[in-house]
C-alpha cells in the first residue's frame, strides 16, 4: 500500500539509477574514442543538474554521490574528488531551489553554465594544488562547453519522456504539503 506520490518518487529514483548506469556503460564501450578527437559532454552531470532543479526530491544527496563515485572509479578518475564537487554544487543548487523556480529557461541555462564552469575550475584548482598531472586547459574546457550545449537537450528529453518538470501550483508531496 504505497501511496501514488511516494511510488512516483521511488520510480523516478530507479529510473535515474538505470539511466546513470547506462550512461557510464555507454562511455565504457570500446568504440573509437581516438586520441585527439573532441571530448563529448558529461551527460551524467547534465542529467543530475537538470533533475535536481526540477524535482529535488527525486535525487537525494546520497544517490548522487553514489553514482558519481561509481563513475569516478570506473572511468579511472581520481576517486572522490569529482563526487565531492558534485555534492557541493548540487547542495548549493538545492538550497536555492525556491529562487530558481521562477527563472525563465534562458536564465536557468546561464545559471547552470556558471555552475558547471565553477565546478570545473574548482576541479582544476584542486588537481593543481595536489600536483596531479592535468589535461590541457582548452581541451578539458571543450568538454564543459559541450555539457553546457547539451543541457537543454537533456532537459527536454527528461521532460518529454520521463515527465520530470517543475512542480505546478497545486501539487503536494506525500505528507500533503505543497511542493
Partner 1 sequence: MARNRTSPEEFARPIRRILIGLLAILLLALFMLWRIDSPRVERFRTALVDRVVPSFDWMLLPVTKAGDMVKGFQSYTKLYEQNQDLRQELQQMRVWKEAALRLEQENAKLLDLNQVRLDPKLTHITGVVLADSGSPFRQSVLLNVGARDGIRDGWAAMDGIGLVGRISGVGRRTARVILLTDSNSRIPVVIEPSGQRALLSGDNTAAPPLEFIEKPDMIRPGDQVVTSGDGGVFPAGLLVGAVAQGPDRRLRVRLSADYERLEFLRVLRSHDLEPLTDPGGLVAAPVPTEPYGPAPVPEAEVNAEAAEAGQDG
Handedness of CA 128, 132, 138, 144 (dihedral sign): negative
Q: Looking at 26-34, 45-53, 112-120, 154-162, which segment touches partner 1 (CB under 8 A)?
A: 26-34
Q: How far apart are CA 39 and CA 33, in angstroms?
A: 9
Q: Is 105 in the site for partner 1 (CB under 8 A)?
A: no
Task: Output the smallest distance, CB 158 to partner 1, in A.
Answer: 22
Min dist CB 78 to partner 1, Å, is 6
Whole-number minimum distance, CB 142 to partner 1, in Å? Answer: 9
Q: Are 58 and 5 in contact (CB under 8 A)?
A: no
Distance CA 22, CA 168 (A): 30
Question: What distance in Å separates the CA atoms of residue 73 and residue 135, rounded to the nearest whole number?
Answer: 18
Collapsing DSSP to helix, strand or coil, 14 comes out as: helix
**x/- letters, 68..97, toward partner 1 (CB under 8 A):** -x---xxxxxxxxx-xx--xx--x------
**Would you tell me which residues interact with partner 1 (CB under 8 A)?**
24-40, 61-62, 65, 69, 73-81, 83-84, 87-88, 91, 98, 126, 130, 132-133, 135, 139-140, 143, 175, 177-178
Amino acid at each position: 500500500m504505497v501511496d501514488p506520490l511516494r511510488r512516483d518518487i521511488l520510480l523516478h529514483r530507479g529510473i535515474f539509477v538505470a539511466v546513470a548506469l547506462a550512461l557510464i556503460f555507454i562511455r565504457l564501450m570500446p568504440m573509437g574514442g581516438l586520441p585527439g578527437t573532441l571530448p563529448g559532454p558529461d551527460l551524467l552531470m547534465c542529467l543530475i543538474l537538470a533533475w535536481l532543479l526540477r524535482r529535488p526530491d527525486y535525487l537525494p544527496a546520497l544517490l548522487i554521490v553514489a553514482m558519481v563515485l561509481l563513475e569516478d572509479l570506473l572511468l579511472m578518475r581520481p576517486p572522490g574528488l569529482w563526487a565531492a564537487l558534485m555534492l557541493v554544487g548540487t547542495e548549493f543548487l538545492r538550497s536555492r531551489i525556491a529562487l530558481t523556480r521562477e527563472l525563465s529557461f534562458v536564465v536557468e541555462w546561464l545559471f547552470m553554465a556558471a555552475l558547471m564552469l565553477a565546478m570545473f575550475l574548482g576541479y582544476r584548482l584542486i588537481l593543481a594544488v595536489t600536483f596531479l598531472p592535468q589535461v590541457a586547459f582548452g581541451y578539458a574546457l571543450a568538454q564543459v562547453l559541450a555539457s553546457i550545449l547539451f543541457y537543454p537537450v537533456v532537459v527536454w528529453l527528461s521532460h518529454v519522456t520521463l515527465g520530470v518538470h517543475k512542480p505546478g501550483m497545486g501539487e503536494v508531496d506525500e505528507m500533503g504539503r505543497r511542493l
